[in-house]
Chain A
Amino acid sequence: MSGKYVFSTSVCRLYQVEYAMEAIGHAGTCLGILANDGVLLAAERRNIHKLLDEVFFSEKIYKLNESKSRYIIYNIVETYGIPFLPSHRYLLQYQEPIPCEQLVTALCDIKQAYTQFGGKRPFGVSLLYMGWDKHYGFQLYQSDPSGNYGGWKATCIGNNSAAAVSMLKQDFKEGEMSLSSALALAVKVLNKTMDVSKLSAEKGVYRDTCIQSAWSMQHMQQC
């Protein structure tokens, strides 16, 4: 990748990583909210074609683990199979579900490696991870193509994510969010940041929102 590393007097920039992060800004919105009794992920689903057959329950949210810890990741582009490997390798060795942060770290190490050696382009993927483990309870993490990650109380990635994050910042109530109020907040934020005309009370819309929480699977179709 010629031109991958650009050194100027003051800053070293990895353009491929920046392009990847910018590309993610055009993808469907996904937001996550940490509540007292659970974690919530809400993702915008763009139905590309009316004739396209629904195979997956959701094409963007995946469950990695059963029984106590569930990790559901929001995939924008291309890391479908990759999270399963670290999580099941851990399960094979310790006979216990992998703690959340260890999974996040494992994946971020992979993503970071692609920005440093190998000569391949970085993964164009931002991920939201939600799960539960006995060490830290309910958790929400976000990682981006650079391999950076952080733990969040509420965050958003994708289209209009900045607007969503500022809304969440105003409306998120520390310590007082229950799953149902988180759900309401998620819908409210998505309503503002997605194209409003297409998400409305009338029937027949182009976009569905699919919401899955850590403990209860609710497929909510907003018509």
Chain B
Amino acid sequence: MLSSGKPDIPAPLTNLKIQYTKIFINNEWHSSVSGKKFPVLNPATEEIICHVEEGDKEDVDKAVKAARQAFQIGSPWRTMDASERARLLFKLADLIERDRLLLATMEAMNAGKIFSNAYLMDVSACIRALQYCAGWADKIQGLTIPADGNIFTYTRHEPIGVCGQIIPWNFPLIMLIGKIAPALSCGNTVVVKPAEQTPLTALHVASLIKEAGFPPGVVNIVPGYGPTAGAAISSHMDVDKVAFTGSTEVGKIIKEAAGKSNLKRVTLELGGKSPCIVFADADLDSAVEHAHQGVFFHQGQCCVAASRLYVEESIYDEFVRRSVERAKKYVLGNPLTGGVNQGPQIDKEQHDKILDLIESGKKEGAKLECGGGPWGNKGYFVQPTVFSNVRDDMRIAKEEIFGPVQQIMKFKSLDDVIKRANNTHYGLAAGIFTTDLNKAITVSSALQAGTVWVNCYLMGSSQSPFGGFKMSGNGREMGEYGLYEYTEVKTVKMKISQKNS
């Protein structure tokens, strides 16, 4: 991946001032109803960056009220031209571009993200997603339908209403924009709960939302914890839809809460244990590199991490050798420092969980090829770790690690590897490396995964839908498909004196 300190990007801001630490409702900044605040940490140093107002149920209630008000028939947001919604989204994209350096610095510091990636990739992805969704706003078309009878029938594709959106900490900016852009494009209003580990860039974006000119109440952001603020959203009787990205464990809780409360619509983007299958006829160098990036990118903290690597027997040893060599090329350290290309894990909980799984790998008999423990005196660092001779029944082969730990397994036959790849409750993504046309089409058809990459990995784009099979999630985000999740279809049937085709 990109190493920091590229000559053509500016240095991160020093002495970054965190301006926005409150709850954002109705385009205004509020203290928490309870008076409580919570600390926000820098995972590379374990130091507190600042304190942020801690939202709970009462704050969520305020935000939902504001969002509901902004959604009323006759409101500025509901009566606005769709093309004007588009213009506001484009404006937000422009403001994010303007504040690229600030946002990249803040994201790198708060989320432990390599600065050059944050600057070049994360911020750019946000801008493109906003521009893509802006383009859809006045193209969300209903149908006129030749229904039976003397009836003029058409559909309206209406916004659903107040959408609760719960965002994770691994890509705070991208995840925020990926949620609000399609929701706003379709005309909804939103109440966002950013992850408690990483609220800062979301709050800065809130200030840009106000600056761009979105009417008050359209976007509301309530930082806080899952069991309090998050639960308040998923069980709220006046939230029409909840969208969640995070662990499968919490996804289940959200779906239950939705069912118990008001049957709000639910979309979930959850965990994965995505298989990468490398056939003997693959371009070996390319497969090694893609598979490596697939599991190590952002310290392994990607829902689509290629965390089960199935390599065909005849190339297995060479593949392991090259993968281990590749995994040793990391400079760990503060992600704001030039030359560093691996940052910390997000927090102590993740750090401990990863180390526990690494230990289980050793205990259950996988071969530790490199790494295998923590790094450094402070910060939540884990050495890049590679296991070979992994068996499918080991914990490291079944559970999502979410850390810089690669599992390499051996396979013989195509039918067998497909079965093994699909033998999981997860189904988020998969990768196939082969030069053979038939294998590419056959295997991609057979894998139970929402995204299948062929001869590449991690390639995302706003135009393509993304989401999970099975317990990796419900629904799809981005692309045209993503709009359906933010639309409520109304059929209108108007009696007429005579129908003509």
Tell whether A pairs with B: no
A residues contacting B by CB (< 8 A) are: none
